[in-house]
Structure 1
Amino acid sequence: MWTASGMVALLATTALGAEVAKQWSVGWVNDVNPDGRFPRRAIGINGKFPADPLTVNSDDFVHINFTNKFGDGRPSTLHAHGLFFTNVNYYDGAASVTQCPVPDGYSFYHEILNSPKSGENAPKQWGTYWLHGHYQGQYADGLRTPFIIHRAEGEAYDYDDDYTVVLADWYHEKNGYILKHDYLKQNGSYPTPDSGLMYFAHTKKGLEAKTMPGMNENATLPFEPGKTYRLRLINMSATTVFDFWIDGHDMEIIEADGVDVERYPTDTVQVAVGQRYSVLVKARDEPTKDWTIHANMERVTFGDVGDLKLNLTSRLTYGANGQEMGEVEERSTSGKKLMDDTQLVPKEEVGLDKPDKRVTLVVKTGLDKNKVPYASFNNTPYAGPKRPVMLTMLGEHGTEASAYENRTEAVIVPYNQTIEMTILNDSGGAHPIHMHGTKFQVVQRANGTKGEMPKMPEVNEEQKNPIRRDTVRLEAWGSVTIRFRAVNPGAWILHCHMDWHLAAGMAMVVVQAPEEAQKVLDVPPYVKEQCKVFWNEDDEDATGP
């Protein structure tokens, strides 16, 4: 019989660092008021909002026992954004894809990093990630926190200190209320946030991670003259794109979505929802002024902004008592040249494979026949199946496309084959496209590709080392082409990380190497047992083989 203690005992057979064991209880926290404008209930972890950040080393074995303590019958899940979960697809945390949601009062044990089941040859991961809910928009209500993995062998670049910058939007109503009463109804309107949030966490290696006090203009980031700082930018929003810069200071991008890259100087970093960047910032030599930190919310994302303050600011300080402010640099968030992430070069070279399979996805948003908003790939709004997709994959016909429900838009890729996916945006808004369990290569972008089947430029097959990441921005009326090799057996959801669009159906599932998954995935019994809470115990369709 599977037990958590049995898995921990396997540590003796693996060359790992420390064991990091967490007990996390998720539930409501009352009178949360991060923007200072409206107190409300929010979701916290172990009674805290914002939840404590988690920092570990890349050779640590990290496991979390996630307990649902909502107390009102509300299910939940936990997802580690950007993690591979090699050979342990069932720990991914995507409701309806790898598990049924965790029932109220139940616990779900996750092995987040370096599971013994992953094997000695599983790829190591380090960099900037985050943990968040993956059920009915709960992360927008607060179920989100940074997850920082320090490279055990030493980082690619030298720096003196390490801070994480959290960028997020905030709504005064709970996500479920907004979906029901404002958005997913006849002639529903796209939800504009009430506020933006910027706050900091100290995430230096070897120290316990701490969220720093204050948000927005009440938050400060302390610098010392002459030192070099790593700032990890994470966009944890439900919908908002942020442009980030610091007056009087230069930045160099050194990481994108957990991939170390060659130094890329920039004065502004655009961070789409779900994306992460690390920048190096050299402190000034003269500590005579403090400086403004900017995070501007991209206006084009919203309809009517009302009294939403688009320009967030915090303070970079060189003295404990505060000083005169340096010159404020005003920059427009529209009409400027966007940062091109295809110019980023990974430090570890991975060549470009020829595709064995090509797939085209067309993004559409609009109103259905009942005038209710929808969002889709290939005109098929996603609907989470009763039986998790992973269990279908592990069934007798899991290698056959006909086994999967139509509204999962499942694409099957045999083991070790390379798939090229071209995503065409037939809508007037940009979309951050995220894929679980995979870092794909971004091999091409194109603009002006309006329409379902426009003429596309050819991919440059001479690229030596395209950027790899797990979340890519798809521009309005544009396209992006990605490639990856199916070497991570499992059912992995691909979706828009604008949470409202995910709720409206912009998702599909990539089934990687189902024939291998059937050999290597040893699903813990509680995964199926928790499905029985929602469906009849004898319901074979729900629990599967």
Structure 2
Amino acid sequence: MRVNFQLLLSTLALTTQLVASETHTFHYTAEYVTANPDGVHEKQMIGFNGKWPLPEIHVNKGDRVQLYLTNGLHDKNTSLHFHGLFQKGSNYMDGPQMVTQCPIAPNDTYLYNFTVPDQVGTFWYHSHTGAQYADGLRAPFIIHGVDEEDEPYQYDEERVISIADTYHKQYEDVTKEFLTRYNPTGAEPIPQNLLMNDTANATIHFDPNMTYLLRFVNMGLFVSQYVYIEGHDMQIVEVDGIAVEPYSVDYLYLTAGQRYSVLVKSKPNRNRNYAIMQKFDNTMLDVIPTDLKLETLNYIVYNDAKPLPLAYHKDGAKSWTDFDLKPVGDIEILDEPDHRIVLDVIMDNLGDGVNYAFFNNISYVPPVVPSLITALTAGEQAVNADVYGSNTNAFVLQPDDVIEIVINNKDTGRHPFHLHGHTFQIVQKSEAFPDDEPQSYNETDHSEFPKYPMIRDTVTLEPNGYVVLRFRADNPGVWIFHCHVDWHLEQGLAVVLIEDPLALQSQTPPDDFYQNCVNNGVPITGNAAGNSHDFLDLTGENLQPQPLPLGFTLKGYVALLVSTLVGLFGLYSIVQYGLEDSITDDERIQKNLLNILKANNIIPEEADETTRL
């Protein structure tokens, strides 16, 4: 009898993994905890079981996770997304509310129950309800390998290092101030500080003669960050859960949602301590307040008896890009696409005066029914993109097609785009272009495609530039593709990819999936409008506001707002002049006007009485 030894070895390896796999069970209640993350301002953070920061979760490849999340926030919904996990066969565990699940109502519990069969690396988990994770509902999620193929690099110990920006106000208050007609330019809220490992001036201990794997995770809401270490070289070995050939760098640049793992060789002695610096990408800030620290000092400590290091400023760093990185395994570029999706990013105002974000003139608005429920209950009509609504920007993908997403940035801002359920190849990525010279991708005239393109799940789109991504539609599900600057997601910068919906219908969500909807008064069948009798009847669906009146522009809106304010203060000055005996009040009126304009982000914070209005 002939024996297929390769098959036998593969079977034995799989059996060993199944026997060795564990089930990790967590019972967490999300509730407010008083904390002071940056040591400057105390606020209510969202913790688990009365504690904040949230715990890191560490599992091995092949393990099962059972996380019971109880919403103890009393007056707010919540949800949980495991950023970067494919959730194959368990699309209902992906987390974004009104996309793959109904939100978890106050006092309700939802069980996130899934395995991690084929991924290894650095991930994280966070709320996918509004901009809620700005209040601390986020933490690293690490999947460790079980053999050398999983982690083709050697190290002695690892350190998980999270970075974030932080706001002193609660996320709901910041959102209200952001999405208002009094902020017609759409200027993003400026964070108050930088955090490392959920604190300011973090300390990371090193021992001599060690090789450390440092897992960096940007869990921030908005601003990209630079990270660099005094006197130590870094070798990138993993990006967004993808092992790469070692590549030496002297700094990292992480947008919101991105991860890098680097190898760092420690010093041979304990003679001194070193700085590990993090720095805002200040080009993303419309205004830089005078009290905002753009750079923060943290510490690599070898010897507690030695002085802490001074700030270290990096000059002359060698620049690098995704195209300098190569995944392990010589993974070649995918074939020419079967389906190309071209998306133009635009930021503009609608009739309510609010500045919105658009893909192809559509600003994402959540449907009445989660898109996953529509896919599960629409039968044969699930392949018709219309049933998912006019404002969800839904695209239906055929099984195993090569999908190409082209994103042209008609905006002067930088955008980190994240795809749920997949990684993608970066086959083209432009530099930034001047404000008045946006460049779109030309499929007949472009730079040469890389043979082995970088693969990741979050990519940076440069101002006025473009990026081209490819992936294979091999994971049936409803997957959101969105900007991970969460303020831009709140403005509507998202599309939904409905992948092989007929195969998706074989997935069976658990009972509490539907109970979440019932408790929130959300239908458990129907199209984007909740209509289950005629899936093509979208009467009552959620829509974006009507456009501005013809000829009305953003500049006109700002000019009208300023003119109105000036007029009101003109009336105010007349009244004040009549009430106060011979008091020249022009200077005070000018100051009051300046304060109102600053409060509504119409002029920079540093403007003074000499500023031309």
Fold match by TM threshold 0.5: yes
Partner of 2:273: 290
2: distance between equivalents of 1:331 and 1:23?
44
Partner of 1:208: none
Structure 2: runs of 5+ lacking an equivalent: 1-14, 534-613
Are the structure 2 counterparts of residues 364 and 452 from structure 1 closer, same or farther at C-alpha, using a change threshold of 3 Å?
A: farther
Q: CA deviation at 1:221?
A: 1.1
Are the structure 2 counterparts of residues 13 and 270 from structure 1 closer, same or farther at C-alpha, using a change threshold of 3 Å?
A: closer
Whether 1:35 aligns to 2:38 is yes
2: distance between equivalents of 1:463 and 1:324?
44
Whether 1:19 aligns to 2:23 is yes
Partner of 1:319: 303
Look up the SS of the partner of 1:216 in the other structure. coil
2: distance between equivalents of 1:167 and 1:536?
36
1: distance between equivalents of 2:279 and 2:531?
46
Paired residue type of 1:21: T
Partner of 2:136: 142
1: distance between equivalents of 2:531 and 2:508?
15
Are the structure 2 counterparts of residues 360 and 15 from structure 1 closer, same or farther at C-alpha, using a change threshold of 3 Å?
A: farther
Q: Which moved more, 1:103-112 or 1:471-480?
A: 103-112
Contact 1:432 1:473 in 2 (8 A): yes
Partner of 2:192: 194
Deviation readout 1:91-114 (Å, 9 max, x if unpaired)? 000111101101111111112433
Deviation readout 1:400-433 (Å, 9 max, x if unpaired)? 1121111111111100001111111111111000
Q: CA deviation at 1:458?
A: 4.5
Contact 1:184 1:504 in 2 (8 A): no
Partner of 1:499: 486
Partner of 1:124: 118
Matches for 1:323-338 after TM superposition, within 5 Å: 323=307, 325=309, 329-331=312-314, 338=319
Look up the SS of the partner of 1:408 in the other structure. coil
1: distance between equivalents of 2:263 and 2:56?
20
Matches for 1:159-308 after TM superposition, within 5 Å: 159-188=155-184, 189-199=187-197, 215-217=199-201, 219-306=202-289, 307-308=291-292
Q: Comparing both structures, which one devotes a greater share of its residues to strand? A: 1
Whether 1:482 aligns to 2:469 is yes
Q: CA deviation at 1:55?
A: 0.8
Whether 1:70 aligns to 2:73 is yes
1: distance between equivalents of 2:340 and 2:439?
16
Q: Which moved more, 1:243-252 or 1:506-515?
A: 506-515
Whether 1:356 aligns to 2:360 is no
Deviation readout 1:36-70 (Å, 9 max, x if unpaired)? 11111111112111111111111211121111111
Q: CA deviation at 1:370?
A: 3.1
Structure 1: runs of 5+ lacking an equivalent: 1-10, 115-122, 201-214
Paired residue type of 2:492: G
Q: CA deviation at 1:537?
A: 6.4
Are the structure 2 counterparts of residues 466 and 146 from structure 1 closer, same or farther at C-alpha, using a change threshold of 3 Å?
A: same
Q: CA deviation at 1:467?
A: 1.1
Partner of 1:383: 365
Partner of 1:60: 63
1: distance between equivalents of 2:16 and 2:300?
45
Partner of 1:441: 425
Look up the SS of the partner of 1:238 in the other structure. coil
Deviation readout 1:290-340 (Å, 9 max, x if unpaired)? 1100010110111222111110111111113234748x54236xx976430
Q: 2:328 aligns with which of 343, 347, 370?
A: 347
Q: Comparing both structures, which one devotes a greater share of its residues to helix? A: 2
Q: CA deviation at 1:443?
A: 0.7
Contact 1:64 1:112 in 2 (8 A): no
2: distance between equivalents of 1:371 and 1:337?
43
1: distance between equivalents of 2:476 and 2:525?
26
Contact 2:277 2:312 in 1 (8 A): no
1: distance between equivalents of 2:139 and 2:161?
11
Contact 1:253 1:279 in 2 (8 A): yes
Paired residue type of 2:60: N
2: distance between equivalents of 1:471 and 1:243?
16
Matches for 1:393-432 after TM superposition, within 5 Å: 393-394=375-376, 395-396=378-379, 397-432=381-416
1: distance between equivalents of 2:531 and 2:153?
48
2: distance between equivalents of 1:462 and 1:190?
34
Are the structure 2 counterparts of residues 453 and 264 from structure 1 closer, same or farther at C-alpha, using a change threshold of 3 Å?
A: closer
Paired residue type of 1:194: Q
Contact 1:80 1:112 in 2 (8 A): no
Look up the SS of the partner of 2:269 in the other structure. coil
Identity %: 35
Paired residue type of 2:459: V
2: distance between equivalents of 1:195 and 1:20?
34
Are the structure 2 counterparts of residues 456 and 140 from structure 1 closer, same or farther at C-alpha, using a change threshold of 3 Å?
A: same
Deviation readout 1:248-302 (Å, 9 max, x if unpaired)? 1100000000000000100011001000000111111232111100010110111
Look up the SS of the partner of 1:500 in the other structure. helix
Aligned length, in residue pairs: 506
User: Which ranges of 4 or more aligned residues in structure 1 deviate by more than 4 Å?
Assistant: 11-16, 335-338, 448-454, 456-462, 536-545
1: distance between equivalents of 2:88 and 2:495?
20
Contact 1:229 1:281 in 2 (8 A): yes
1: distance between equivalents of 2:221 and 2:329?
32
Flag the structure with larger Rg. Answer: 2
2: distance between equivalents of 1:111 and 1:378?
36
Q: Alignment RMSD, CA only?
A: 2.3
Q: Which moved more, 1:530-539 or 1:44-53?
A: 530-539
Contact 2:423 2:471 in 1 (8 A): yes
